[in-house]
Amino acid sequence: MQYRQLGRTGLNVSVLSFGASSLGDAFRVTNDQDAIRTVHVALDLGINFIDVSPYYGNTKAESVLGRALKDVARNRYLLTTKVGQYGDAHFDFSAARVTKSLDESCARLGVDYIDLLQCHDIEFADLNQIVEETLPALARLRDAGRIGHIGITGLPLKIFPAVLDRTAPSLVETILSFCRYELNDTSLSSLIPYCQKKGVGIINAAPTGMGLLTERSVPLWHPAPKLLIETSRKAVDYCKSVGADIVKLAVQFCVAHPGISTTLVSSANPSNIRKNV
């Protein structure tokens, strides 16, 4: 496993990291024992960065991950979870809610400290609230030693500079972008020099486009337009016809970029996480 610095956080993260959304049945109904074993395999293979959220599976992902980490030494992994999103169309970025959310997540995860706490999908929030209320609340948690670092996540790239340009240096230390640096969409690359100048670490997620670049069909909730789904299917079929593994290509493409600290892959299947590594 290779490791890179996550911006100016001082965290040294594996270039391939573990996204725990699958533990919450995000893509299919999973077996908890398989999911727990997948986490252990990931750690044994050198993955040291784990991302989760109370939103995934309506807190199920955090609960299953907590069981998986129960007997794992805390210094073997870096843990990030999120605040602000708690269900479909259920968002609350108030200072009181995000503070309480940290307590709830720590209880489910069986820890008393989160290495990185992120505001989840801020495009659905009032960015004024994020800047003026949510982030100051997270800063207080960081000052109190409850969390190590602060990040923001979302799909539209414009939201990142919209927040970073309005906050003090080093307040927001990471961004998590998904479906914006993969074989079919490299738009995140335009933001990398900006983040590097600010010392903001980049977490890339969904190297297969949340299932677009896999042999399985995409979930019904997938936001991609019909044409993109159909075109991605042609790419999958082509790779299969010439004996190439499109998932392998997709993962290799993402981790090869030196400006991206880590790329999240999500699975609840031990053999799949082994293949990804």
- Here the tokens at position 33 are 């024992």
Residue 66 to residue 39: CA distance in whole angstroms: 10
Closest to 205 in 3D by CA, of 261, 148, 124: 261
User: Rounded to the nearest 5°, which phi and psi values hold at 2?
Assistant: -100, 155
Catalytic residue among 56, 77, 86, 181: 56
The distance from CA 220 to its chain's CA centroid, rounded to whole angstroms, is: 21
Residue 200 to residue 197: CA distance in whole angstroms: 8
Q: Beta strand pairing status for 85-87 and 12-14?
A: unpaired
Based on the residue annotation, tell me whether 181 is a catalytic residue of this protein.
no
78 contacts 35 by C-beta, under 8 angstroms: no
Closest to 180 in 3D by CA, of 150, 159, 151: 159
User: Rounded to the nearest 5°, which phi and psi values hold at 82?
Assistant: -135, 165
Amino acid letter, residue 139: A
Catalytic residue ranges: 56
